[in-house]
């Protein structure tokens, strides 16, 4: 292991030579030796070698300080090295150390966001048994991650466990459960938990409402969804741009052009500027109802304002292909790639489909 580390850089090579010399010829390394090495690696931002030194301390029966291990974990979290973070966390457990609250919260959040739910649950459960869990900010990311993987009943068990331990759930806790029930199509549970949430004095936020509105739209319950939007406004929870984009998309699916025009006016009155998702919904809707020319005209305006992303460009390629201009679509794609545009599979598939329809393959 040491021979591999020697090739890293000259500074580390010299340190290794001094360290191995002490081990072979004496005097043997003592606690201050290891602490000097560890603090030096932390100062240099060398996470890999910092962990190596901690493991050497353990093998030589020395105890690293809480501060040193805490800094090592914090560094792993800061650079996003979650596997090394887990290794450092397990090293901390050997000495009955536990992470500081900010580092722990961020670590569990990053594990959950990375889809490492089992690892997040491991970290959480170990510290929960030791009574080192401080707030909902620590376990809310786990609730959300479990619900994203269709494990609502597991989420429910964790929810009740934390409630039993005296934790007061936040709007994010309830919203995670509602999202999970929506994802799994459990409509009765969705509205039961919305009532339960409100009865417990927790007011739904715009994200909670948006999740339910989208769920109702996706299940063909248009009127119920629009009534829910009205209820949302009555309760002084103003829809945000994301909520309006969800409504906009549904209106286009139903060819309700008059309602679309009215909704855009409402968005403008509320000072909400359309984003790339809004434009994609608008242009995609125009394309769906056969107004290819109008869609192209709107897209060119969008491009001039610099508000387009790959989804919007894909609609533009589709417009060109529908007008038998697949070669132009391909030319535009190549031109945009020269200035940094990154097409996705949809971009290529759209143009390939266009060529096939024009029998130019």
Q: Which residue has the tokens 């889809």?
A: 115
- 281: how many CB neighbours lie within 10 A of its CB? 24
pLDDT tens digit sequence for 303-341: 877 767 888 888 889 888 888 889 999 998 999 899 888
**Residue 227 dihedral angles phi and psi, to the nearest 5°:** -65, -35
Separation of alpha carbons 143 and 135, rounded Å: 13
pLDDT tens digit sequence for 108-160: 999 999 989 999 999 999 988 888 877 888 889 999 999 888 888 888 898 99
Separation of alpha carbons 232 and 8, rounded Å: 59
What's the confidence (pLDDT) of residue 226?
A: 92
Separation of alpha carbons 24 and 237, rounded Å: 70
Query: Considering all CA atoms of the chain, what is the largest pairwise distance in Å, rounded to the nearest integer?
Result: 87
pLDDT, mean of each 10-residue run, the chain (361 residues): 42 73 80 83 84 87 89 93 94 91 92 92 89 82 88 88 88 94 91 92 93 94 92 89 90 80 83 81 78 82 77 87 90 90 91 83 48
What's the confidence (pLDDT) of residue 6?
A: 41
What's the confidence (pLDDT) of residue 307?
A: 66
Structural domain boundaries in the chain: 295-361
Residue-wise DSSP of 83-138: HHHHHHHHHHHHTT----HHHHHHHHHHHHHTT-HHHHHHHHHHHHHTT----HHH
CB 97 within 8 A of CB 69: yes
What's the confidence (pLDDT) of residue 28?
A: 82
- For helices 136-148 and 152-164, angle between their N-to-C axes, nearest 10 degrees: 160
CB 85 within 8 A of CB 79: no
Tokens of 35: 């602490």
What's the confidence (pLDDT) of residue 33?
A: 83
End-to-end CA distance of the chain: 57
What's the confidence (pLDDT) of residue 3?
A: 41
pTM flag (> 0.85): no
Exposure string (b/e) for 163-181, b if CB count within 10 Å is 16 or more? eeeebebebbbbbbbbbbb
């Amino acid at each position: 292991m040491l021979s591999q580390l020697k090739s890293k850089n000259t500074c580390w090579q010299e340190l290794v030579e001094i360290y191995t010399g002490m081990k072979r010829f004496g005097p043997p390394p003592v606690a201050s030796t290891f602490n000097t090495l560890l603090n030096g690696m932390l100062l240099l931002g060398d996470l890999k070698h910092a962990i190596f030194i901690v493991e050497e301390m353990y093998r030589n029966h020395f105890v690293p300080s809480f501060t040193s291990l805490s800094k090592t974990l914090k560094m792993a979290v800061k650079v996003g090295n979650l596997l090394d973070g887990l290794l450092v966390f397990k090293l901390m457990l050997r000495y009955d150390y536990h992470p500081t609250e900010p580092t722990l919260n961020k670590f569990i959040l990053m594990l959950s966001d990375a889809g490492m739910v089992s690892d997040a649950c491991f970290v959480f459960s170990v510290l929960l048994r030791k009574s080192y869990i401080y707030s909902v900010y620590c376990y809310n990311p786990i609730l959300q991650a479990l619900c994203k993987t269709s494990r609502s009943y597991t989420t429910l068990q964790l929810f009740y466990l934390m409630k039993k331990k005296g934790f007061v759930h936040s709007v994010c806790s309830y919203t995670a459960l509602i999202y999970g029930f929506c994802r799994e199509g459990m409509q009765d549970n969705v509205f039961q938990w919305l009532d339960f949430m409100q009865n417990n004095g927790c007011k739904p936020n715009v994200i909670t409402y948006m999740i339910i509105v989208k769920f109702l739209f996706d299940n063909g319950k248009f009127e119920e969804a629009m009534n829910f939007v009205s209820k949302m406004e009555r309760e002084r929870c103003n829809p945000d741009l994301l909520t309006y984009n969800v409504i906009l998309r549904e209106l286009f699916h139903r060819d309700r052009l008059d309602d679309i025009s009215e909704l855009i006016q409402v968005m403008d009155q509320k000072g909400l500027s359309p984003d790339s998702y809004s434009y994609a919904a608008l242009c995609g809707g125009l394309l769906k109802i056969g107004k290819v020319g109008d869609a192209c005209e709107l897209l060119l305006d969008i491009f001039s304002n610099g508000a387009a992303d790959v989804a919007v460009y894909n609609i533009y390629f589709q417009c060109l292909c529908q007008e038998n201009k697949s070669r132009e679509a391909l030319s535009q794609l190549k031109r945009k790639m020269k200035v940094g545009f990154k097409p996705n599979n949809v971009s290529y598939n759209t143009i390939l489909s266009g060529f096939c329809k024009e029998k130019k393959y």
